[in-house]
Chains A and B, each alone.
Chain A
Amino acid sequence: MTTYNELAGLRVNYVSSDPTLNTGNEGQVWYNSTTGTLRSLVQLKAWSAAGNLPVAKNEAASDGTTTAGWTAGGSNTPAANTGLNTTEEYSGYTWASGGNLNTARTGLGGSGFGTQTAAAVSGGFTQGPSGPTRVMFANTEEYNGSAWTSVTSMPTSLSNVAQCGIQTAGLSFGGGSGYALPSVATTLEYDGTNWTSGGNLNTAAVYQAAGIQTAALGMLANDTTGKGTEAYNGSTWTAVANRNTGRAQIVGFGTQALATIAGGYSAGPGSPQFTETEQWDGTAWSISPATLGTATRTGMGIGTQGSGTSGLLAGGFSTNYLADTQEFNSTIFSPATGAWASGGNLNTARSSLAGAGTQTASLAFGGYNGTANVTSSESYNGTSWTNTPSINTARREIQGEGTQTAALGFGGYTTTQSAATESWNGSSWTSVNSMNTARNGLAGAGTQTAGLAFGGFTTANTGATESWNGTSWTTLPASMNTARRGLGGVGTQTAALAFGGFTTAASNATESWNGTSWTTLPASMGTARYGVAGAGIQTAAIIMGGAAPGLGPLTITELWDGTNWTSVPPMANAKDNRVGSGTQTAALAAGGSPNTAATEEWTGTPSTGTASTLTTS
């Protein structure tokens, strides 16, 4: 028998607890002696909720990617499929309306090809309350990201024609020829100007499409007993392995080598819809452990412009028309997500302030109101800010740590760099021993009695690190690897994280502190920036806003999982030099530049890896 050692060149690790569940351990197998189980970290396949469509609908054309998807046309009128002309564009987090189709129509399920800024759609129909009044279309329209233009029609009017490819190399195949009329087996290829014939399908039907013009996959979609799949090589269709479950009105997306279908129904209109998902690996279909959150049929699939590992199912029909968007991901991690909401406004609008505490029990103090440094201090109860006694030294670019009732404020800029330290006991600020190195734009971590200060600006950038024991500061031997100012910091005195800042340009570097030394981590932030706000701990942090030369203030939000940074939905207001507090999943960002009193609250779900227990069954 082949052993894991022979296959992987390694023995199975014998450990008392699971290792860190990150990409570095993907595919590894270990024996957990505590639970007595053989464990592994393998890809998860999961659907999650995404931003809702602005309008509930089904049977629209669609394509693109999970971060730049689109839908056009469709229907949301149960009595009469009069057809819609609306276009919706997805940014990865929210939908926005795009330009209207020239010809309103439905019967576009499976149709549409190209990207959000270079798309095409053809075919479809409208009909009155009774089927025979159906009007079929051959019309083709091209989209440039803002407007649709009528171009050369298909030679035949068809509905639900399966389409894939790009605007200048599209493929259309199968489809319906009219109400109660048979489906067709024809294939049409589009070069951006004209339609020409391709090889015929083996089975005339309505399909969902994946892939490109010269390497496509057709997935049978209008036969409740059918499971057929065909592959196209640019000239000929070949029948390949069937799916496991026969069903109609599915959605599909992906490539010829990696495709996904989901939803649909199996016993005619009115029967329950599926949540079941199947995945194609280039050879065979398998039922995925991932199931839709909302069972649906006639939805819009998005993801054929991607790699096949992710996609969207937008809209559709369950017991009524749906606006839901569901996102599929195949990864070792569940996707990180969340959203920002407004919080109570500060009483004093300002930037470059400091803070401490949590999302619902926070403290903000010091800063700059646009014309002068301020001393004001405020506390937040999760709803509103209340003025508290002021700090003693007005300053900006100050740093804070601790809690709402036991905080420390240190460093900053008056008319020069400050080393002043003040301690807050929940009712008043008291000046205590100063830092050894006066600086501003520094970062900090820890508590009122066990703190850490690092980075900042003296007369130049510094990486100096000092620890606070509740009474005095001690300069530590180890400095940061990258001296910088305007950086973010989270964590504790012995386990801190530093990120972003300004060297001679905006930085995306991340460093980890173990109580003795700083280590530059291999993963960088997605967007280099300074004037950042952060919250969380060394292994689970959030970075909020900031600024970058050429870009100005930012709304960008990223989550740190201990290994990597991941972009999540952005803030509503682009600001730098906010104060951040709280955790990776419940953070608060207040104030900022351009000068504001606004507060935003983050509620998030982090990306998590889940180890699977291996069994012999």
Chain B
Amino acid sequence: MALFIYGTATNTGKGFFTAEDRRNFFLRGFPGNVWVVGNSEKGALWLAEKNGVEKTKAEAQAIVTAEVTAAQAAWDALPDEQKNRPGFNQRPTAITLP
């Protein structure tokens, strides 16, 4: 059985995920409103309650990669003096979903 459920859901702010949710299942947010959720009854229920759209891992990864690629392009377009600042405003790094 897969370890995680993948989906997109919009973070609506307060109450979107609770401390109890965090104790009950794995939950990690990624660019593109992608959420990786522990594959359990409570995790699946959380994604459904948040009007989440379940994705395959490949689909979720594609969304994240597209977001990161766009962010990298925006960063690449910055003037050099904005980019050569180690420790600040680093070029977005590729993300591999768990």
Contact = CB atoms under 8 A, between A and B. Distances in A.
Co-complex (A, B) = yes
A174 interface: no
B31 to A, nearest CB: 5
A599 B87 contact: no
B38 A96 contact: yes
Nearest to A593: B89
A99 B1 contact: yes
Nearest to B21: A341
A574 B95 CA distance: 11
A178 to B, nearest CB: 30
A341 B22 contact: yes
B3 A98 contact: yes
Given A89-B3, A397-B88, A441-B88, A96 B14 contact: no
Given A440-B88, A552-B93, A52 B24 contact: yes
A555 B90 CA distance: 17
Which of A340, A440, A593, A594 gathers most chain B CB within 10 Å?
A594
Contacts of B1: 86-87, 97-100
Nearest to A547: B90
A482 to B, nearest CB: 13
A30 interface: no
Nearest to B22: A339
Contact of A55 (B22, B26, B40, B92): B40
A352 interface: yes
A306 interface: no
B87 A457 contact: yes
Contact of A344 (B14, B18, B38, B40): B14
A530 interface: yes
Interface string B76-98: 00000100001111101101000
A94 interface: yes
Contacts of A415: 81
Contacts of B20: 339
A338 to B, nearest CB: 8
Contact of B38 (A97, A351, A397, A594): A97
A547 B95 CA distance: 13
Contact of A341 (B17, B38, B40, B86): B17
A413 B89 CA distance: 11
Nearest to B78: A371
B15 to A, nearest CB: 7
A486 interface: yes
Nearest to B40: A54
Interface in A72-116: 86-87, 89, 91, 93-100
Given A342-B17, A384-B14, A594-B92, A96 B87 contact: no
Interface in A355-370: 368, 370
Interface string A500-536: 0110000000000000000000000000001100000
A94 B25 contact: yes
B74 interface: yes
Interface in A184-213: none
A547 B14 CA distance: 25
B42 A54 contact: yes
Given A54-B38, A97-B39, A552-B93, A573 B29 contact: yes
Given A96-B40, A100-B1, A413-B88, A342 B13 contact: yes
A152 interface: no
Nearest to A340: B22
A34 B95 CA distance: 57
A53 to B, nearest CB: 9
B88 A352 contact: yes
Contacts of B42: 54
Contacts of B95: 552
A51 interface: yes
Given A54-B40, A339-B23, A502-B86, 16 more contacts: A54-B24, A54-B43, A93-B23, A94-B24, A96-B25, A146-B3, A384-B13, A413-B88, A486-B87, A569-B22, A593-B89, A594-B31, A594-B71, A594-B92, A598-B11, A598-B29
The 10 tightest CB contacts between A and B, nearest first, are A54-B40, A502-B87, A339-B19, A342-B16, A552-B93, A573-B29, A344-B13, A97-B39, A345-B13, A96-B38
